[in-house]
Structure 1
Amino acid sequence: MADTVLFDLFGVIARQQSPSAREVLRATAGVPAPAFWATYWALRTPYDRGEVTAFGYWRQVATALGSTVDDRQINRLIAADVASWSVVDDDMVAVVERAAASGRRLALLSNIPEELAAHYERHHRWLRHFDVVAFSCRTSHVKPEPDAYRWCCRALDLAPGRILFIDDRVENIQAAEAIGMRAHLFISPTQAHQAITELDTVPRRR
């Protein structure tokens, strides 16, 4: 049975981009919204995987949109992008801290570029609760690819069935279940806490 909890970051512990933050980022790019967001996401995976730098990513976005960007604008885009993903759900941080205090083993799995990963490491001390932090920019594996989950199993030295994965996206949950993990589709901090406490009948690390 599962006794280790593997959390997603964005949409679970951290919030998705707000409309206002999205508009700041789009305005910084100076491109109409539909085209900007389609290109932003179409080119995102190599950036999340660490295959291209932030400067490389934003130059690719600009080229695909038929525009150009200089280094100063790219720095502004990076700052706006990081800010748009930086709001944390304090209720979920409390869930993480309660789970850690109970002796539960915790890990984190996130599709995230290096600039955001470094930001979270600098500003969020609650990351210390995680035995394993699997940032895609450093593991070279992104969800929902099976190897993203297998990387976590190897790092934790656990069979998939020993892990409960919590994520807000159905495709990521299905991919985790396909390799044998237990999974919980995130709806709220209350439900996530309940899913974790239901593991209390199995042995935990002290």
Structure 2
Amino acid sequence: MTRPALLFDLYGVLLHMQSDRDIAAIEQAAGTDGRLWPVYWQLRPAFDAGQLSAEQYWRAVCDRLELDHVDIDRVISADTASWLRPDDEMIGAVRDLIDGGWTVGLLSNIPHFLADAVKAEFDFFTRFHAVTMSCDIGVAKPDPRAYTTATDALHSQPEHTIFFDDSPPNVDGARKAGLQAHVFTGKHVLDRVLDEL
């Protein structure tokens, strides 16, 4: 039996989500509080799809919140730093899978500025058979085109691709696109799925 291809999300799977300390640092840089986050996430899809630069995105966030005299470069720096914490256990597991002959790809919702930062920070990106980033393809998960672009890049069919993402809506989108998809809550999910093959 031919092995399926494996496709991984980035954040919440291979890199950690923002910590409370990260969130506080961004709020401090922007000169605001928790009211930042609904706007931050509301404007994020266009940012992830490559439709806004980091400066355009943060100016839009600040305008929406009526924040004046914000040092945009400082906010961008705090935002970037918040997304650069690796999950070493999972990165090691993915390296082992690739070394073991599995076809492995990445599919991430990520804006250009952050894609550049993570590629510069981490060398594991060069190990993937294919890397699909929303900012490069103009659509983000759960748009079905994101999944088909990723499986095409892996030279795999959706039904022969197993996808791991920490976001239930993105997992649902993958299933609708024909992939075998699992909500990732830790390495035990990967281990269980592979053990059941």
TM-score, normalised to structure 2, is 0.94
Distance of aligned partners of 1:182 and 1:172 in 2 relative to their CA distance in 1, 3 Å threshold: same
Give, in whole Å, the separation in 2 of the partners of 1:197 and 1:119. 34
RMSD: 1.4
Give, in whole Å, the separation in 1 of the partners of 2:98 and 2:135. 25
Give, in whole Å, the separation in 2 of the partners of 1:194 and 1:116. 31
Find the counterpart in structure 2 of residue 46 from structure 1.
46
Give, in whole Å, the separation in 2 of the partners of 1:116 and 1:139. 15
Give, in whole Å, the separation in 2 of the partners of 1:98 and 1:197. 15
Find the counterpart in structure 2 of residue 156 from structure 1.
154
Superimposed CA distance per residue, residues 85-139 of structure 1 (whole angstroms, 9 cap, x where no aligned partner):
1101101011101101110011001111111111111111111221111111111
Letter in 1 for 2:58: W
Unaligned runs of 5+ in 1: 200-206
Find the counterpart in structure 2 of residue 132 from structure 1.
130
Letter in 2 for 1:52: L
Alignment of 1:30-179 (within 5 A): 30-33=31-34, 35-69=35-69, 73-179=71-177
Unaligned runs of 5+ in 2: none
Give, in whole Å, the separation in 2 of the partners of 1:193 and 1:95. 10
Find the counterpart in structure 2 of residue 21 from structure 1.
22
Paired residues in the alignment total: 196
Give, in whole Å, the separation in 1 of the partners of 2:92 and 2:170. 23
Q: Secondary structure at the residue paired with 1:173?
A: helix
1:197 deviation in Å? 4.8
Find the counterpart in structure 1 of residue 10 from structure 2.
9
Superimposed CA distance per residue, residues 120-171 of structure 1 (whole angstroms, 9 cap, x where no aligned partner):
1111111122111111111111011111101112222321011000011111
Give, in whole Å, the separation in 1 of the partners of 2:101 and 2:192. 16
1:17 deviation in Å? 0.4
Q: Does structure 1 conserve the Cα–Cα contact (< 8 Å) formed by 2:53 and 2:113?
A: no
Q: Secondary structure at the residue paired with 2:105?
A: strand
TM-score, normalised to structure 1, is 0.90
Letter in 2 for 1:3: P
Find the counterpart in structure 2 of residue 204 from structure 1.
none
Q: Secondary structure at the residue paired with 1:134?
A: strand
1:2 deviation in Å? 5.7
Distance of aligned partners of 1:166 and 1:101 in 2 relative to their CA distance in 1, 3 Å threshold: same
